[in-house]
Structure 1
């Protein structure tokens, strides 16, 4: 693995090290206790709940493109929405808003989310079904957006689409299933994104990173951290990457993925680190389908009843952008199943 001499615009601690699985489970199930995504459980005491002010780790935390990390709607009004019309209204308003989603909201298309928004599910029952969220349009950017603690089901297209040069996005502690196309696609020159502690299930095309083999404008963009996600029986694209570098795939749990785990194509640079692959015949592909080969470095992963990963070339180290620690991959199944998905944080 080579380390680039290039320096990222800032460093933040990616505090994902967990001292003991039992401590995490106790913290998650204890009365009134919630654990911050990517944080050591000992840092969150009993009776503490998370708020919209919590900050991400990984690429969404980096100081770049005029933003020092991702804050979403912090500092703006807090509103609670229960209908598609209300959600669409506030998501499209100018300026920061903290938007609390209460209960099940059925939509029939993509709702556009513009800059400086936090969209947070209330409790354990927040759901967006039938459609999805698109971060930004060609004229209204979707920068500095946070989406947490929401169940996404049955989308007619993508469940969440990060697109049109959106940057500084944090997608955390959600549950995705049963969409028509991608569950979570990041494309069209978007950048500085963290996808953390989500559960993906009952779906095939899970995570696309990069619009197409011909969209070379993505070169130098699409820097994404995927950490502590649970790919629970989904078929493929965890993620499927074009052009991006570096992409950091860290401490995720892959289980029963029928086609493959990660695919790096079109000269993308992907670091696959500290993950646990269980019953995955093809954990890592270099190139896929009609797409040309990418580059992959794999280190410190665990393969259980799984195939041998493909690797090629060298990749820019994520440490040139942020500091981090790696959980023991053998503990990843317990850590991730205990902590990923909705209802694990107090919002």
Structure 2
């Protein structure tokens, strides 16, 4: 059984995603190869101040083309990548699976499991019918945590400062990895498909929303970092989308965390022209209401992204001044849909010219959920059509069904000149250009 196998296999015997000329972006040119390109001026929060240039200035000794997980880790600086400031360009050629050992052989969940851990025994031991509603504790829970640590040592890789991580050609892919930009500045990530950051050892939390399975890894996590540009990439659950996951204790056995989370004081980030596909909790901006040091940070721009069959957190925001513009949201059915924009504590979301294709049972009021926030400025939104009749005042729709009302304004304006399309053009331009394999 492969690393992404226990959940899909049921854990043994226990019942157990308008043709209009595109706005100016950093398109490849004959003069500047993809790996040497930098974020254009005015392209979101990451362009503010000195801008974002990544590893564009790397010398030839620090330009790497990698085809295996071991080569990728070494090119990024290996165990010393976190905190490294050496300018680097790392070119990903073809698919790379993080669950691969130094000998090239695939690693499985069993390879990471502590000898004292068994998934069948875990489910039997902490079944609420016999364990109750207290948190799991004891030797078996300790063994699960050790197992998770074993997997993390293999699949988490840090990205240092002054780095460009870029896919070469149409099939650059990183599978099963927890790619982490933490404590870094000036990072560019482009043209890569990030898939299936699969946690073999989810933890049962009976006190979270009536009982939830929580997992550890994001496909890409940005924390304590600034000036980061994530562009023309694709994020998904690979072979294990939400529909493939079983239920235990009446809750989905969730083996994934976020696709792209931005937390812990991260700042000045642009997320552009990406695809986020068939995933539940997509993007968390700000991890905790109690993290008051996030005030004045978490300034993020999301533009020209496709959110295809996503459940929630596109994004969910705390504290940050977040610009959500020219994105296309596609949700053909209500099953599994929770909301799109989460208005959290002291958040200030400015949403401009976004297009929603929503299936039966999803109303405009459902686009927003409030988690302690008080304001959201949304304009130019179209829902299920390009005609003037499709224009929706999202905040008014929310306020008509909920109390207290959201304030339909925020107290900031972008300090950059981002080029936007008219909303009716968004499905065409985003569909044609967003995602990995569209540049380079």
TM-score in terms of structure 2 length: 0.64
Match of 2:36 in 1: 52
| Alpha-carbon offset, residue 325 of structure 1 | 3.5
Matches within 5 A, 1:107-126: 107-108=98-99, 109-126=155-172
**Per the alignment, do residues 336 and 145 of structure 1 end up closer, same or farther by CA in structure 2, a change over 3 Å counting?**
same
**Per the alignment, do residues 44 and 115 of structure 1 end up closer, same or farther by CA in structure 2, a change over 3 Å counting?**
closer
Question: 1: CA distance between counterparts of 2:409 and 2:55?
Answer: 38
SS at 2:56 equivalent: coil
| Alpha-carbon offset, residue 87 of structure 1 | 1.4
Matching of residue 225 in structure 1 with residue 301 in structure 2? yes
| Coordinate RMSD, CA, aligned | 2.4
Match of 1:150 in 2: 192
| Alpha-carbon offset, residue 228 of structure 1 | 0.1
Match of 1:266 in 2: 345
Matches within 5 A, 1:267-306: 267-279=346-358, 280-281=362-363, 282=365, 284-287=367-370, 291-304=371-384
Deviations 1:249-304 (A, max 9, x none): 000001117221111111200001010011053454251xxx31242001111122
Contact 1:132 1:152 (8 Å CA) reproduced: no
| Alpha-carbon offset, residue 78 of structure 1 | 1.4
| Alpha-carbon offset, residue 75 of structure 1 | 1.1
Matches within 5 A, 1:154-165: 154-156=196-198, 157-163=217-223, 165=224
Match of 1:21 in 2: 19
Match of 1:81 in 2: 66
Contact 1:286 1:296 (8 Å CA) reproduced: no
Contact 2:45 2:268 (8 Å CA) reproduced: yes
Match of 1:130 in 2: 176
Deviations 1:322-347 (A, max 9, x none): 1233311011000100010011111x
Match of 1:256 in 2: 331
| Alpha-carbon offset, residue 116 of structure 1 | 0.7
| 249-258 vs 86-95, greater mean Cα deviation | 86-95
| Alpha-carbon offset, residue 308 of structure 1 | 6.0
Question: 1: CA distance between counterparts of 2:291 and 2:28?
Answer: 43
Deviations 1:160-192 (A, max 9, x none): 0001x2000000000100171000000000100
Match of 1:171 among 207, 210, 230: 230
| Alpha-carbon offset, residue 54 of structure 1 | 3.1
Question: 2: CA distance between counterparts of 1:224 and 1:94?
Answer: 23
Question: 2: CA distance between counterparts of 1:318 and 1:268?
Answer: 14
Match of 2:86 among 92, 95, 100: 95
| Alpha-carbon offset, residue 318 of structure 1 | 3.2
| Alpha-carbon offset, residue 193 of structure 1 | 0.1
May I ask how many residue pairs the two structures share in their alignment? 299
**Per the alignment, do residues 209 and 173 of structure 1 end up closer, same or farther by CA in structure 2, a change over 3 Å counting?**
same
Question: 2: CA distance between counterparts of 1:87 and 1:45?
Answer: 26
Contact 2:376 2:409 (8 Å CA) reproduced: yes
More helix, by proportion:
2
Of the two, which has the highest radius of gyration?
Answer: 2
**Per the alignment, do residues 175 and 117 of structure 1 end up closer, same or farther by CA in structure 2, a change over 3 Å counting?**
same
Question: 2: CA distance between counterparts of 1:235 and 1:299?
Answer: 22
Question: 2: CA distance between counterparts of 1:148 and 1:241?
Answer: 24
Match of 1:33 in 2: none
TM-score in terms of structure 1 length: 0.80
Matches within 5 A, 1:226-241: 226-241=302-317
Question: 1: CA distance between counterparts of 2:156 and 2:232?
Answer: 21
Contact 1:49 1:345 (8 Å CA) reproduced: no
Question: 2: CA distance between counterparts of 1:40 and 1:181?
Answer: 30
